[in-house]
Structure 1
Amino acid sequence: MTSPCCARLQQDENLQLMQTGSVMRKVKSRNWKKQRYFKLQEDCMTIWYKSKKTGNTKSTFSISDIETVREGHQSEILQSIADEFEPALCFTIVFYGRRANLDLVASTAEEAQCWIHGLEKLIETVRNMDQKEILDQWICDWFIKADKNRDGRMNFKEVQDLLKMMNVDMNEHHAYRLFQMADKSESGTLEDDEFVLFYKALTQRDEVLKIFQDFSKDCKKLTLLEFVDFLRQEQLEVDNTEEFAMDLIARYEPSETAKKLHALSIDGFLNYLCSAEGSIFSVSHVPIYQDMTQPLCHYFISSSHNTYLMEDQLRGHSSVEGYIRALKRGCRCVEVDTWDGPNGEPIVYHGHTFTSKILFKDVISAINKYAFRVSEYPVILSLENHCSVEQQDTMAQHLKSILGGKLVTSTLDGRIPVQLPSPEELRGRMILKGKKIGRLEDSLGEPSEDPYMGEISEEEDSGDVDEDKKRSKKSKDRLSEELSDCIIYCKSVPFESFKHSKIHNKMYEMSSFTEYKARKLVREPGNEFVRHNACQLTRVYPTGLRTDSSNYNPQDMWNVGCQMVALNFQTAGVEMDLNDGLFRQNGHCGYILKPLFMRHVDTNFNPDQPQDTEGYSPVSLSIQVISAQQLPKDQNSKEGSIIDPLVRVEIFGVPIDQAKLETKYIENNGFNPIWYETLQFKIHIPELALVRFVVEDYDKTTRNDFIGQYTLPFKSIKSGYRHVHLLSKDGTKIPPASLFVYIRITDIADPVQDLDG
């Protein structure tokens, strides 16, 4: 069976050479360089490689797993062998998620270029696939897996094996009936088009057909007016609906005849429902849609903790790759933990542990290169500074020479600011956060008192103990004047109390808290934390007791307006799902404008008493979970086993909004399970709520296995019939796995009456 991707690319010379295969060195370290035979498979979607020496172990990876290809010595591993192999021979394959990069050395520069350009073309092709092409490719992948003898045909035994692989437990007689129906040539095997026919019969979406027929007079097509009725009544699309319907038909209807009639067939209708416009995530929230001219403290800022670590905090690997991955994920505040290094060069690592060490200047170079590739809005470098004055001076010199004009070294207009600048004003700039000698006013002209004394390091990583006692024990260290002068809008200061901050702190001064300290402040009566965060920046970070680099729930901190809620980006889990979900909107730029009721210093908002909020308007959220499509198996599931999926919907927000409801599980069907179950929620503060869809494989004896999830802000949800395109544990796409749901959101007229009761 020919891949739709491959059919278009067969004439490409680079791909033809890649299909012939190449012997290249796979490099894991300066001392580990082994020859491997790499070959692009006939489907143009899979790279296969094996040991050159033994020829036994074979591995594969998919083109859809690759994020990008970097040419030359662009990884630490390849830099370490730069004296041995010239950059023209080297390249790095970077994968999505947390999978380690693949560093390769080709035999010739021409061979390297062939693989680099060939892979780039394939990556681009995959990236530009529409939903139909993704599904066609998925069908082709399964056909190739199931065609054991590689003869381009599938007999019924192979089809039965395929059904198990695809999570389908089907009655043998029913499966054979579908097989015979598709076997038009009556050869006892299925070939290209016959297999597609079999697949279509297998995946007939009766639940979608029912909706289509409800609006279609002749049950064969939707006329323009019938489609407009559907868009208005069910999808609640009210703006330029007729024009919108015409555009959707032009883009998603496969039949030219139907297009000319301005009509939509069932195939076109399904294409629309599976598209971005049919997704649960509002397309209007995909680009930057928020006001970016407010002061920095009015935004939630995507923030990373221990950014240099790839694993845990005790023995993990430190790498500039941590910064690259965080920045490419939309992170806007990275942590740089600096210590004195050999030869006068500061190093970055997790102090007093066995984590590996990297040069400070290499970290800054990587940040400089990748800072603005995903977002043009400012990057904050949170310095955790443990260096001597001499090496602090070196840090300042590296920062200025590498970052140049991007580094903010003075207020934007040269005057004392009355409020923090906005993301828009700081577009393309980098801000240092750290300790500073004296006041900002002093560095703009007036002499400072006691210029050389101050605590260098601000983080207290040993857990929930009294920070003031620890601070008094700490020795006072000298600060470098040159580095101090680079701290402008994010001066780190100790926190004493909200009252003290209100009276004494300047708006450019900010404090950092461990999660324990922050939780104590969240629990204090009243809404002082919310008011504090309306005019000052706050950073929260995980306690040092989390040696496995696990994370805390960021929602608690967002509920009180903390801007920099720093998480370990290297650790997958619900906490990073929430972070990705919040920052999925607004162009993925890393800045989300806080709700209006959190931006005034005299706000009355209290997350524990949301009913008292000015403009309080709770809503009812109804989610009918209709069906799921092509769910993957858990990687650890037994061979031949089929999943028993259930769907759970979780609401994260202010305490009263936290809720979870789930469907029953469907036995032995991960391919097209049907539920038609409705889950109802009441949401008091929609502006802070996140909705997380989770699919699990039910197990009555042990813990359920995770299958997929999708998290998004409540305010980004579209009403009507929508597909939820599921993501893996790492937050990467797993097409074509999805949920099909029906969403209704209604205002609750009488806030006093609890409609859930």
Structure 2
Amino acid sequence: MVSAALEEYLAANGDGETFDSLAAKSPIKDVPFDGSHPMTHYFISSSHNTYLLADQLWGKASPQAYATALHGLNARAPARCVEIDVWYTKSKGLIVTHGHTFTGNVPFKDVCQAIGETVQPNDLPVFISLECHVDPDQQPELIKTMEDVWGDKLLKEKLQHLGEKKASPDDLRGRIVMMVEWYPTPGQAASAAIRLDEDDSASSSSDSGDESDNSGRKEMKQFKQTHKNNKAKISDGLAKLGIYANSFKPTPGWLEREIIEPTHALINISESALLDLLKDTKVQDRLIEHGQHHLRRCYPKGLRVDSMNMDPAPIWRCGTHVVGMNMQHWDKGTHINGALFRDTQGFVLKPRSLLGGPKRPGNATLKLTVVGGDDIPLAKDQAIYMNAKLYTHEKRYDWKTKSVKDHKGDPMFNETVEWTYKDDDLVFLKVEMKEDEWGKDDELASYTLLVDRLEQGLRFWPLFDNKGAPSQGKLLVKVEYTGAQ
């Protein structure tokens, strides 16, 4: 039942709007999808350790987790990249599990079936980030399982009409695309990211006085020494499936050299390594430019055994396409990931500033009038308030309303906040309904969104509980936003 206070407010300030008319309007803009650009022009929603239902030490595993991630249930974004850690055991054959831990495991075939059942002919592609711990002599069984279960959905060869061009999401609709580890064959140096002929470099090493050439040869030697046994980890048959996503971990100097081999490189870099690079502000633009030409995936640092997530926004801001999220955990990272990808198909075109266009000039202003709530979930008869957090590139802004007690789930605040901040394309806003009590205030419900997608004027914002499921609660907010376009 609508509170009398809300009805009274709308009658006086709603410009003819009613509770029902506002409830039918979306709080965020509908962004038409254009899937014709090269894959490097998109952010791709990604699930890390997709098979796990909890932490990375003891958590249970389930093939159903793949369907959940790909569908993007509740407040979670639909994933278009999922991870499979596949191992081989004598007793169970091919299984998916988090190795060297006490987590559960599931048959690899069951995981393939769960993924295959979600992929329909006109769907945008699903990328498989394959962590292969299967010896080469068992990899034919691995390949056969994927081929048998996925059939023609599995991309097994390049699209002839593209030649060496990068594929677009539209080109790969209805397909399952493998990310496979790539290692150089003789004459290739992935770490140096340039094509070098071993015989030529060896014969000219004593003659050349060019320091950069010597550096390149030294780095190639270092790469080959480091990975001398790794080539055997991936059989030729499995390597052939890495068509549009040849994955390799970078070594020093990778950002400064043009990648010629592999043609469709995917830089697979850890959260720690990437954030370390970002400490040098001059590197940011180089990363953005690099990401216009080559895919990049960032995976969580190894210490996140509790499945807590990194903040994906700084990773996106440097042009990274794929940020591995532990979607089984509902925290700040999944809130922000959901805000970018919610109500999309899991692919979002990068803003102009990350595709070679100009950065936004000047400041933006966001003014929020928080009117009141409707059917806010209550744990007990406790005063509640609304807390707002604005995440910009430079800092976080915090604000909260006064606490209201005699509300019965329909608190009226009617308070206003106005922020002026340096504009950028990836500013996020989170609102939280919290209980006002001694100690840590419990979060009752929240909503996170991308500021660029905000609808102006009066809108009801949906609220999700602390597990990401929809609640009955709604928050009436008036938005006045001026961005520096």
Class of the TM-score when normalised by the shorter of the 2 chains:
0.7 to 0.9
For residue 59 of structure 2, give the secondary structure of its aligned residue in structure 1: coil
Corresponding residue of 1:269: 18
Where 1:742 maps in the other structure, the secondary structure is: strand
Is structure 2 residue 175 aligned with structure 1 residue 429? yes
Q: Name 1:212's counterpart in structure 2.
A: 11
SS of match in other structure, 1:432: strand
Change (3 A) 1:748 1:402: closer
Q: CA distance change for structure 1 residues 398 and 741 in 2, over 3 Å: closer, same or farther?
A: same
Q: Secondary structure at the match of 2:430?
A: strand
Aligned-residue RMSD, C-alpha = 2.8
Structure 1 counterpart SS, 2:18: helix
Does residue 646 in structure 1 map to residue 402 in structure 2?
A: no
Q: Is the 8 A contact 2:403 2:436 kept in 1?
A: yes
CA distance 1:346–1:501, change in 2 (3 Å): farther
CA distance in 1, matches of 2:259, 2:105: 41
| Contact 2:378–2:409 (Cα < 8 Å) also in 1 | no
Compared CA separation, residues 556 and 214, structure 1 to 2 (3 A)? closer
Select which of 539, 544, 551 maps to 2:309: 551
Query: Structure 2 residue aligned with 1:571, among 304, 315, 329?
Result: 329
Q: Which amino acid in structure 2 is aligned with residue 484 of structure 1?
A: A
Deviation string 1:256-300 (CA, Å, 9 cap, x unpaired) is xxxxxxxx7xxx82211222x1x4223x34xxx032111111111
Q: Per-residue displacement from partner, 1:527-561 (whole Å, max 9, x unpaired)?
A: 11111111111111112211111111111111112
Aligned 1:498-577 pairs, distance under 5 A: 498-526=254-282, 527-577=285-335
Give 4+ residue runs of structure 1 displaced > 6 Å after superposition: 468-471
Return the letter of the residue paired with 1:733: P
Return the match for 1:712 from 424, 441, 449.
Answer: 449
Partner Cα separation in structure 2 for residue 583 and residue 614 of structure 1: 22
Is the 2:51–2:61 contact (alpha carbons within 8 Å) kept by the matching residues of 1?
yes
Match of 1:5 in 2: none
Give the secondary structure class of the aligned counterpart of 1:325.
Answer: helix
Q: Contact 2:446–2:466 at 8 Å: present in 1 too?
A: yes
1:628 corresponds to which of 373, 376, 391: 373
1:655 aligns with 2:394: yes
Task: Please tell me the residue identity of whatever aligns with 2:18.
Answer: F
How far is 1:502 from its partner?
2.5
* Equivalence map 1:221-620=2 (5 Å): 230=15, 269-275=18-24, 277=25, 279-282=26-29, 284-285=30-31, 289-329=32-72, 330-342=78-90, 345-372=93-120, 376-413=123-160, 416-418=163-165, 420-436=166-182, 438=184, 472=226, 475-476=229-230, 478=232, 479-496=234-251, 497-526=253-282, 527-585=285-343, 588-600=344-356, 613-620=358-365
Q: Which has the higher contact order (CA 8 A, sep 6+)?
A: 2
Give the AA of the match of 2:62: S
Q: Which runs of 5+ in 1 are unaligned?
A: 1-134, 136-199, 216-229, 231-263, 443-448, 451-467, 604-612, 635-640, 750-757
More strand by percentage: 2
Tell me what 1:688 maps to. 426
CA contact 1:512–1:541 (8 Å) conserved in 2: yes
Q: Indicate conservation of the 8 Å contact 2:373/2:476, yes or no.
A: yes
Equivalent residue for 2:410? 672
Per-residue deviation, residues 698-738 of structure 1 (Å, max 9, x unmatched): 12x31000110111111221111111111112222111x11
Question: Which residue is 1:733 aligned to?
Answer: 470
Pair member with larger Rg: 1
1:614 Cα deviation from its structure 2 partner: 4.0
**TM-score normalised by structure 2 residue count:** 0.85
SS of the equivalent of 2:455 reads: coil
Alignment of 1:151-190 (within 5 A): none
| CA pair 365-525 structure 1, distance change in 2 beyond 3 A | same
Letter in 1 for 2:297: R
Are residues 470 and 677 of structure 1, via their aligned partners in 2, closer, same or farther at CA, if it must alter by over 3 Å?
A: farther
The residue type equivalent to 1:631 in the other structure is I
Deviation at 1:687, TM superposition (A): 2.3
SS, match of residue 322 in structure 1: helix
Aligned-residue offset at 1:653: 3.5
Distance 1:471 1:590, change over 3 A: farther
Residue 237 (structure 1) aligns with: none
Distance 1:380 1:436 in 2: 16
Aligned-partner residue type, residue 143 of structure 2: A
Cα pair distance change 1:428/1:212, threshold 3 Å: same
Cα distance change, pair 669–718 in 1 and its aligned pair in 2 (3 A): same
Deviation at 1:668, TM superposition (A): 4.4
**Distance (whole Å) between structure 1 residues aligned to residue 450 and residue 469 of structure 2:** 18
Question: Quick one: structure 1 residues 470 and 646, their matched pair in 2 at CA, closer, same or farther if it must change by over 3 Å?
Answer: farther
Q: Report the CA distance between 1:336 and its aligned residue.
A: 0.5
* Gap change, CA 1:739 and 1:352, over 3 Å in 2: same
How many residues are aligned here? Answer: 444
Residue pair 1:686, 1:714 contacting (<8 A) in 2 also? no
Structure 1 residues 712 and 615, CA, compared in 2 at 3 Å: closer, same or farther? closer
Q: CA deviation at 1:359?
A: 1.5
1:353: how far off? 0.9
Corresponding residue of 1:166: none
Q: Where do 5+ consecutive residues of structure 2 fail to align?
A: 73-77, 189-196, 199-221
Measured after TM superposition, the shift of residue 682 of structure 1 is 2.2
Separation of aligned partners in 2, 1:677 and 1:516: 40
Tell me which protein shows more helix as a share of its residues. 1
Equivalent AA in structure 2 for residue 592 of structure 1: V
State how far apart, in whole Å, the 1-side matches of 2:303 and 2:223 are: 19
1:745 corresponds in structure 2 to 481
Q: Tell me the CA shift for residue 504 of structure 1.
A: 4.4
Q: Indicate if the aligned counterparts of 1:645 and 1:666 stay in contact, CA closer than 8 A.
A: yes
Distance 1:508 1:746, change over 3 A: same
* 1: CA distance, partners of 2:351 / 2:332: 23
In structure 2, give the amino acid aligned to 1:688. Answer: L
User: 1: distance between equivalents of 2:484 and 2:109?
Assistant: 56
User: Contact conserved, 2:255 with 2:287, CA < 8 A, in 1?
Assistant: no
Percent pairwise identity: 26
Deviation per CA, 1:186-241: give whole Å up to 9, x if none: xxxxxxxxxxxxxx6xx213x443442467xxxxxxxxxxxxxx3xxxxxxxxxxx
